[in-house]
Amino acid sequence: MNQDTFSRRTLLLGAVALVAASSLRTLAQGTGPAIHVMKDPNCGCCSAWIDILENDGFVVTTEASAGTLLMRYKLDNGIPQEMVSCHTGRVDGYMIEGHVPVADIRRLLDERPDAVGLAVPGMPYGSPGMGPESQREAYVVYLIRRDGTTETFSSYQAA
């Protein structure tokens, strides 16, 4: 075997390995938990949060809703008015209100508390989908209990 053959073979094997690795990543995306998100069709930060979920393997479906209909959906599903944000997701029986980080959603699904779900009220800058984490303002992720009370699930300090 001469040097040219070895180089072409090495190059070909390297290319095959790259294609295989890329295909595995594509297969891994969209194989995680399914989440359905109700959102205003014109909201860019909601779409940015959805992109973050999809990049982490969540299978996301969306439904356009706004105004009174969206607020009614939140309240009917146990989200207290003081916990509302711009979009609402449902994943495996839990409600996810606002810009909740993926790590917190995964923790919720692992721990399975008896709760309505999680909420990040408002739209804190630097939360997922709301600008760079490096400029994040402090915020809290709340666990919403079935009786409507809330407690801190996790907190994020200002960057």
User: Which amino acid does the sequence have at 89?
Assistant: G
Sheet harboring 88-91: ordered strands across?
Answer: 59-64, 34-39, 88-91, 94-98, 115-120, 139-145, 150-156
CB neighbourhood size of 125 (10 A):
16
**One pLDDT digit (tens) per residue for the chain, 159 residues:** 555 554 554 434 444 444 344 334 444 455 899 999 999 888 888 899 999 999 999 999 999 998 999 999 999 999 999 999 999 999 999 999 999 999 999 999 999 999 999 999 999 999 999 999 999 999 999 999 999 999 999 999 999
The CATH code of the domain at 32-156 is 3.40.30
Helix ranges (H only) for 29-152 are 44-55, 67-76, 102-111
